[in-house]
Amino acid sequence: MREHLTVYLTMIRAAVITRLQYRADFLMGILGVFILNAGTLGTTWVLLNRFHELNGWGFWEIVFLYNLWLLGHGIRAVFFRHVTNLEQFILDGTFDQLLTRPASPLVQFMGREIHYLGVGDVLLSALMIGLAYQNLALDWTWWMFLWFLLVALSSAAVELSLLLMLSCTAFFTTRSRALVDAATQFSWGVVQQYPIDMFNNVLRFVVTVALPFAFMNYYPSLLLLGKEGSDPFGYLTWFTPLVALFLLWLTARVWNFSIKRYQSTGS
């Protein structure tokens, strides 16, 4: 474990030096992230300006939902944005090189890059969650704040695991991008923007069990917003960190299995 950490930290150091070469993009990137999210939130605002609520969720509750997702996503994106790029690593031979070194390929792959765009996500979401907290007149106890931190990390872990598992298909088919893109639509296209209790059971099942992106924001929000009674499955809100841990464990298994497959099929 300590060895993994040493390797990871050394690699992160190299990744930071890499990133510092492109400092000029930094501000533009962060600004871009702000505007992009403002555009999406703006659309929601236009709707709720007219309809006042969506299936029992008010504007600021949706803002909270949206930004809890963004917070987890942002934390993930800072350190692990490149997991969906695994396909490229395999195609251009970078991955093969990881296999010729006496260290875990997973640790080496994870430490390969860091990204600043996620910083924009984290900043914006923290700000917006703060605003939502005020506008909703929430009043959390201190342990709720700790729970919130745990939830944010779990949210990042859930996204990381799901994306990495999906990207592992690159070991089988060389092309995983399309699959990842299609699957992440359940994330940014469904879970991030809408309270999932408005959808039918099939879709709910997909985002709760098959691709449990809903644990990034919907389920944890229920407790944080005091809405756990509004959903018959509201008790799932307590399981968020457990789900994250389970997914991380599963990802490690899937990863090892996929590498074995890759080594024996070569594509």
Partner 1 sequence: MSLFWTFSRQHFYKQSAYRLNFWLEMGGMFLQLYVVATLWNVLFTQTPTGFGSATLTQMITYAVLGILLGAVLSVDEGVHSYLQGQVRMGLITTDLMKPVDFLLHMLARDFGATVVRLSFYLLPPLVFAYLLFDLVLPVDAVQVVYFLIAVFQAWVILFFCNFLFGLISFKTLDLLGFIFTYYALIRFASGQIIPLWMYPDWMQPFLYALPFQSIFYTPIGLFTGVISGGQATTALWTQTAWMIGLFVAARFIWARIHRHLVVQGG
Partner 2 sequence: MALIEVHNLRKEFKKLVPKTGFLSGIRNLWNTDYTSHVAVDDISFKIEEGELLGYIGPNGAGKSTSIKMMTGILVPTAGEISIAGMTPWKQRREHAQNIGVVFGQKTQLWWDIPPIESYRVLKTIYKIPDSVYEKNLNTFRDLLELHEFENTPVRQLSLGQRMRADLAAAMLHDPRILFLDEPTIGVDVLAKERLREFIKEINRTRGVTILLTTHDMADIEKLCHRMSIIDDGKLLYDGSIHDLKSRYGTERTLVIELDDAPYALHIPNTRVLREEGSRVWIAFDKEKLSASDVMMKVAEKHTIRDLTVEEPEIESIVREIYQSGLDRKKEDGHVAVLDV
- The site for partner 1, by CB under 8 A, has a size of 38
CA distance 223 to 219: 7
Q: Which is nearer to ligand ATP, 96 or 197 (CB)?
A: 96
Q: 61 in helix, strand or coil?
A: helix
Distance CA 238, CA 62 (A): 20
Here the tokens at position 3 are 């060895």
CB of 102 to partner 2, least distance (A): 4
| CB nearer to partner 2: pick between 229 and 266 | 266
The nearest distance, CB 267 to ligand ATP, in angstroms, is 4
96 lies in the binding site for partner 2 (CB under 8 A):
yes
By CB neighbour count within 10 A (0-12 exposed, 13-18 middle, 19+ buried), where does 230 fall?
middle
Which part of the chain contacts partner 2 (CB under 8 A), choosing from 43-51, 81-89, 96-104, 123-131?
Answer: 96-104
Element (H, E) at 58: strand 57-58
29 binds, among partner 1, partner 2, ligand ATP, none (CB under 5 to 8 A by kind): partner 1
Q: Look at phi and psi of residue 192 and say left if phi exceeds 0, alpha if psi is from -120 to 50, else beta.
A: alpha
Residue 96 interface partner, choices ligand ATP, partner 1, partner 2, none, CB cut-off 5-8 Å depending on type: partner 2
Q: Which of 10, 43, 134, 267 binds ligand ATP (CB under 6 A)?
A: 267
Query: Is residue 6 a contact residue for ligand ATP (CB under 6 A)?
Result: no
Q: Are 70 and 64 in contact (CB under 8 A)?
A: no
Choices 101-109, 151-159, 188-196, 239-247; region in contact with partner 2 by CB under 8 A: 101-109
Classify the phi-psi angles of 138: left when phi > 0, otherwise alpha if psi is within -120 to 50, otherwise beta: beta
> Considering only residues 121-140, where is the footprint of partner 1 by CB under 8 A?
none
Interaction residues for ligand ATP, span 207-266 (CB under 6 A): 266
Instruction: Please state, in angstroms and as integers, the Cα–Cα distance from residue 39 to each residue in 43, 163, 175, following that order.
Output: 6, 25, 31
3-class DSSP assignment, residue 158:
helix
Query: Residues binding ligand ATP: what is the number (CB under 6 A)?
Result: 2
Return the number of other C-beta atoms located less than 10 Å from residue 74's C-beta: 26
* Angstrom distance (rounded) from CA 37 to CA 52: 20
Q: Which of 3, 9, 16, 42 binds partner 1 (CB under 8 A)?
A: 42
Q: State the residues that interact with partner 1 by CB under 8 A.
A: 25, 28-29, 31-33, 35-40, 42-43, 46-47, 49-51, 53-55, 173, 175, 177-179, 181-182, 185-186, 189-190, 194, 198-200, 203
Q: State the residues that interact with ligand ATP by CB under 6 A.
A: 266-267
